[in-house]
C-alpha cells in the first residue's frame, strides 16, 4: 500500500517508464557505437589541444594534457553506456561525465555533470599527504556530481559514492565499465559486477564527456543503448551547444 505522497510519485514514475518502454517494443533496444575505431567522428573537442586525442590501432588515446574534455555530438537522457579503458602509467586519472553541459569551468577546466571516475589503483600511494594515504576506495569507480550538479550517494564518502568492492585492474590492463543511467539514477558495473550508484541527480540529460586529466589513457569499444525518455523538466536538461 502506498503510504506517502512520495510513494505515489515514485509509483507514477515507474508506471510512466514502463508504458514508455512498452510503446517502444516495436523497435528493440540495440547498442550503437560511439567510436568507430578510425577517427573522432561523433566527438567534439571542447578545450584540449588538437593532438590531445588520437586514434591508433583501433583505440582512442588521450595524452592527458591539457586538462579538459571531449564531448559527444549530441545529448543523452536514459541510456546504458559500455566503455573500456586502460591507464598506461601508475596513478593515472580520468573519467567520463554523464548528463554534462560540456562547458568548462573557469578554474578547473572541467564541465558539470555526474563523473564516473577512472583512476589507477596506485593513485592513493602516490598522493600521500602529511603521512596519510587516501583510502583505496578513492581509486575505484567513484561517482559524484560536479559543477553544481547534486546527487545522493548509495555508499557515501562525503558527497561522493564509493564502490562496495574493489574490482578495478591496474595500469596496463583493460577495465570495463557498464553505466546504466535512468531518470536521475546511475548504476556502475566494474568488470562485470555492479558495485556503485547514485540517485536523484539534479541534471538528467546532457552530453557525454571524456576527460583528459594529466595522464595518458586508452579507450575502446565505446557504445551506447538509448532507453525511453522519462519525466524531466527544463531545468534538469543541460543547455544545447
Dump pLDDT digits (tens) for 70-118: 999 999 999 999 999 999 999 899 999 999 999 998 889 999 999 999 9
Mean pLDDT of the chain: 89
**Residue 199: what pLDDT?**
97
Task: List the grid coordinates of 11.
Answer: 509509483
User: Cβ atoms within 10 A of the Cβ of 108, count?
Assistant: 12
**Residue 14: what pLDDT?**
55
> Tens of pLDDT along 136-192?
555 579 999 999 999 999 999 889 999 999 899 999 999 999 999 999 999 999 999
Residue 10 has pLDDT above 90, yes or no: no
Rounded distance between C-alpha atoms, residue 144 and residue 98, angstroms: 10
Rounded distance between C-alpha atoms, residue 229 and residue 232, angstroms: 8
Q: How many residues does the chain have?
A: 241
**Residue 6: what pLDDT?**
56
Q: C-alpha angle with apex 48: 43 to 52, nearest 5 degrees?
A: 80
R_g (Cα) of the chain, nearest Å: 18
Residue 234 has pLDDT above 70, yes or no: yes
Helix (H, G, I), strand (E, B) or coil at 64: coil
Residue with cell 549530441: 74
Which is nearest to 205 in space by CA: 102, 75, 105? 75
Task: List the grid coordinates of 119.
Answer: 583512476
Pick the CATH number of 30-236 from 2.60.120.560, 3.30.420.10, 3.30.300.10, 3.40.50.720: 2.60.120.560
- 135 alpha-carbon distance from chain centroid: 21
Sequence spans of domains, the chain: 30-236
Residue with cell 559500455: 82
Spatial neighbors of 202 by CB under 8 A, at least 6 apart, are 145, 148, 149, 150, 151, 184, 236
Percent of the chain with pLDDT over 90: 76
The whole-model pTM stands at 0.85
CB 238 within 8 A of CB 203: yes
Rounded distance between C-alpha atoms, residue 181 and residue 204, angstroms: 9
Rounded distance between C-alpha atoms, residue 188 and residue 4, angstroms: 29
Which is nearest to 226 in space by CA: 21, 12, 71? 21
Spatial neighbors of 211 by CB under 8 A, at least 6 apart, are 68, 69, 94, 95, 96, 97, 110, 115, 118
If you ran DSSP here, which 8-state letter would residue 14 be given?
A: H
Rounded distance between C-alpha atoms, residue 37 and residue 59, angstroms: 6
Amino acid at each position: 500500500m502506498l503510504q506517502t505522497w512520495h510513494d505515489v510519485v515514485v509509483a507514477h514514475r515507474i508506471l510512466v517508464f514502463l508504458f514508455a518502454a512498452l510503446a517502444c517494443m516495436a523497435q528493440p533496444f540495440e547498442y550503437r557505437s560511439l567510436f568507430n575505431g578510425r577517427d573522432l567522428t561523433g566527438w567534439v573537442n571542447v578545450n584540449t589541444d588538437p593532438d590531445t586525442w588520437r586514434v591508433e590501432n583501433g583505440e582512442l588515446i588521450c595524452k592527458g594534457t591539457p586538462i579538459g574534455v571531449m564531448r559527444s555530438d549530441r545529448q543523452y537522457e536514459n541510456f546504458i553506456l559500455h566503455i573500456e579503458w586502460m591507464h598506461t602509467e601508475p596513478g593515472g586519472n580520468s573519467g567520463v561525465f554523464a548528463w554534462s553541459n560540456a562547458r568548462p569551468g573557469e578554474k578547473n577546466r572541467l564541465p558539470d555533470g555526474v563523473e564516473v571516475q577512472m583512476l589507477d589503483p596506485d593513485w592513493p600511494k602516490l598522493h600521500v599527504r602529511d603521512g596519510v594515504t587516501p583510502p583505496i576506495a578513492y581509486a575505484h569507480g567513484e561517482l559524484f556530481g560536479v559543477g553544481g550538479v547534486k546527487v545522493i550517494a548509495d555508499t557515501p564518502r562525503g558527497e561522493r559514492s564509493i564502490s562496495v568492492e574493489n574490482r578495478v585492474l591496474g595500469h596496463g590492463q583493460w577495465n570495463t565499465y557498464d553505466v546504466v543511467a535512468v531518470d536521475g539514477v546511475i548504476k556502475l558495473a566494474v568488470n562485470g559486477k555492479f558495485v556503485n550508484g547514485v540517485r536523484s541527480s539534479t541534471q538528467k540529460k546532457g552530453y557525454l564527456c571524456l576527460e583528459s586529466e594529466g595522464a595518458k589513457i586508452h579507450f575502446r569499444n565505446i557504445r551506447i543503448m538509448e532507453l525511453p525518455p522519462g519525466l524531466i523538466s527544463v531545468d534538469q536538461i543541460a543547455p544545447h551547444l
